[in-house]
Amino acid sequence: MKLFEPLDINGMIIPNRVLVPAMVTRLSGEDGMVNDDIIDRYVRYAEGEVGLIVVEAMAIHGAKAGPLLRISDDRFIPGHAKLTKRIHDTSDSKVVPQIIHFMKIARSGWRQTLDMLSEQEIEKIIEEFGDAAVRAREAGYDGAELHAAHAYTLSSSLSALNGRRDDYTGRTLEGRLRMVGRVVKNVRKKVGNDFPIGIRMLADEYLREGYTVKEAKLIALRMAQLGLDYISLSVGGKFEDAVHTPGEILHGYSGYSGERCMPGDNHPDMLHVHLSEEIKSFINSKGYDTPIVTAGKISKPENAKLVIEEGKADIVGIARGLLADSDWVVKVRNGEEDRIVHCTYCNVCKELDGAHKEVHCFLWPKHARQAPADQPDSDAPIWGADKGGLTVEQADGAATLKWSKAESEVSGYDIYRADDNGDVEIIEAVKGTRFVDRTILAGMPYRYYVRAYNKVGQASVPSENVMIEPALPDYAEAVA
C-alpha cells in the first residue's frame, strides 16, 4: 500500500507517507531548552514509526515568548542533538525542526506588523533563518522546515494583507515572495543543497481579502522553483481575525481562521484535501514533483490511504490524531485499526496551547503526560452480564444514551452512530457512562452502540445496539 511505501526527500528517506506536523507541546520551559519531557514526546512518535516527525515551532531569535523551544544560539544545540539521537536510535523515523520567526505582541492587544520592520531587521531575520538551519544540521536533524504559515513573520510577508511598500511590498505577489525567497537562498548558502529544506505555507489564509488557493498555487510553484524539498500545506491561523481577551496575549488561533487551522468536531473530515489536490496538480503540470503534505482531520485510516492512493497529496499530515495515538502507523500497517485511539477533535489540546499550558490529549488516561506506551497484549475492557445495558431516551430534540461501566481497566467510551441506515462513525469519546446527542435530525433512524476502550485503544465488543427514529415535528409534516 502506497501509504507505507518509503519516499526519498532529497536523500532523506522517510519510511512511510505519514508526517506528524509541528505541534507546540508547551513542555519546554521559558529557557527554550530541550528537556526530557520534550524528548519523550517525540520518541513516542518514533516508537510509532511515523515517517517524518516535525518538531514543534522553535524560535530562531531571542524574543520573549513564554514556554517555547529555541534554536537561536549554539548553546541550544546539545539538547537538540540528544533529541535527534534518541529518535534515530528508536526507529527509521526521520526528524526535522520547524524553525520560526515571529514578531512582537503585547498583552494590551498591540502587535508588531510586517510594515514596522526596518530593512536591517529583515536582513537580520534572513541571517537568523540561515544560522538556525546550520544549527539544525549540527544537531543531527535530517533536514529543517521553514515556518511560513499562520500568524508569523514569513507568512505575514506572503499574505495578501502584507502592508509593506518597499521591495517587500504587499502590492505585488512578487514583493510578497521576496522575503521567503531570500531566506531560502541564504539557508541554502549556509547548509548546502544536500540538506533537505521544507516549508510550511498556507493553502488559504481564510481571511477577508486574504489569499486563497488561486494564489497559493503560484506561491507553491515559486517554492518548488526555489528548490524546496517539500511543501507542507496548512490554512488560516492568523492574527488579523484573532479575538483579543483583555490582559491576555493575542492568540493566533482564536478567530475563524484559527478554527479552520485546527478544525474541531463541527467540521467534516479531510476538509482541506481539495486544496492540496489543486496545488499538487498545478505544480506537477509545471514540471515539479516537490512532495506536497496535506493536513486537517485525516486520521481515519481509509481516508489517509485514499489521499495517497488517489494522488491528492504525497504525504499525509496527521497532527491531533497522532497526539491521541502515536502508534497509529504501526496499528494501521498491521491491520489493527480496531485498536486505534480515535481523535474526536475536541480541541482540548488546542485550548491548552492557547493558554500556554502543557499540551496533552483528553483521550489519554488522567494525568498522563505522554501517549501511553502500546501494550498489544493488554486486556480489552469487558461488559458485565447486561452487555453494556445501553439505553436511549429522546426528548426535546436530543437523544440521551446511558450504559453501565465496563470491567477491567477502562480509559473511556467511544460512541458509535449510524445515521439513516448508513455507515457507522464514532461521534464522540467520553470518560463517563452518559452522553447526550444534540445533533439528530428528526425523521431519520439512528442506531447507536458504545465500546469501552483501555489506555492503548483495546476496545470491548460493541454493546447492544439501540435505535431511535424521532418523528418529524408538526411544522415539517405539513410539507413532507
Ligand X SMILES: Cc1cc2nc3c(=O)[nH]c(=O)nc-3n(C[C@H](O)[C@H](O)[C@H](O)COP(=O)(O)O)c2cc1C
Footprint on this chain of ligand X (rule: CB under 6 A): 21-24, 56-57, 98, 147, 149, 200, 234, 261-262, 295-297, 317-321, 349-350, 353, 359
DSSP 214: H
354 vs 412, beta carbon nearer ligand X: 354
Nearer to ligand X, 216 or 390 (CB): 216
Instruction: Give least dist CB 234 to ligand X, A.
Output: 5
Please, which residue, 234 or 326, has the CB nearer to ligand X?
234
Closest contact distance (angstroms) between CB of 297 and ligand X is 5
Q: Rank residues 149 and 275 by Cβ distance to ligand X and give the closer one.
A: 149
* Shortest separation between residue 247's beta carbon and ligand X, angstroms: 22
Alpha helix segments (H runs only) across 192-269: 213-225, 256-261
User: Three-state DSSP class for 189?
Assistant: helix
Conformation bin of residue 389: beta by default, left when phi > 0, alpha when psi is -120 to 50: left
Beta carbon of residue 237, minimum distance to ligand X (angstroms, whole number): 7
Distance, CA of 412 to CA of 435 (rounded, Å): 12
Question: Closest distance between ligand X and the C-beta of residue 279, in Å?
Answer: 15
Asked if residues 391 and 404 have their Cβ atoms less than 8 Å apart, the reply is no
Please, which residue, 278 or 351, has the CB nearer to ligand X? Answer: 351
Q: Which residues contact 81 (CB under 8 A, 6 or more apart)?
A: 138, 139, 140
CB of 357 to ligand X, least distance (A): 10
Q: Which is nearer to ligand X, 328 or 383 (CB)?
A: 328
What does DSSP say about strands 424-430 and 412-419: parallel, antiparallel, or unpaired? Answer: antiparallel
Contact between 235 and 276 under an 8 Å Cβ cutoff? The reply is: no
C-alpha cell at 203: 493553502
Cell numbers given for 280: 499538487
**Between residues 105 and 359, which has the closer beta carbon with respect to ligand X?**
359
Of 402, 394, 417, the residue nearest 468 (C-alpha): 394
HSE-CB at 92 with a 13 A cutoff on CA atoms is 15
DSSP conformational letter for 105: B
- Cβ proximity to ligand X: between 291 and 321 the closer is 321
User: In sequence order, what are the residues at sequence separation of 6 or more whose Cβ sits closer than 8 angstroms to the Cβ of residue 143?
Assistant: 9, 10, 12, 94, 96, 136, 195, 196, 197, 198, 229
Taking the CA atoms of residue 224, residue 226, residue 230 and residue 233 in that order, the dihedral angle to the nearest 10 degrees is -70
Distance CA 270, CA 21 (A): 15
Cell numbers describing residue 455: 489506555
From the list 480, 472, 422, the residue with the least C-alpha distance to 443 is 472
Look at the alpha carbons of 19, 23, 27, 29 in this order and tell me if their dihedral is positive or negative: positive
- CB closer to ligand X, 39 vs 53: 53
Shortest distance in whole angstroms from residue 128 CB to ligand X: 18
* Shortest Å distance, C-beta 213 to ligand X: 16
Residues 215 and 282: beta-carbon distance below 8 Å:
no
In the bound complex, what is the minimum distance in angstroms from residue 391's beta carbon to ligand X?
33
- The candidate with the shortest Cα–Cα distance to 90, out of 54, 53, 134, is 53
Q: For residues 446 and 469, is the Cβ–Cβ distance under 8 A? A: yes
Complex with ligand X: residue 295 or 390, whichever CB lies closer = 295
User: Smallest gap, in angstroms, from Cβ of residue 188 to ligand X?
Assistant: 21
Report the residue number, 268 or 287, with the smaller CB distance to ligand X: 268
At its nearest, how many Å lie between ligand X and the CB of residue 377?
29
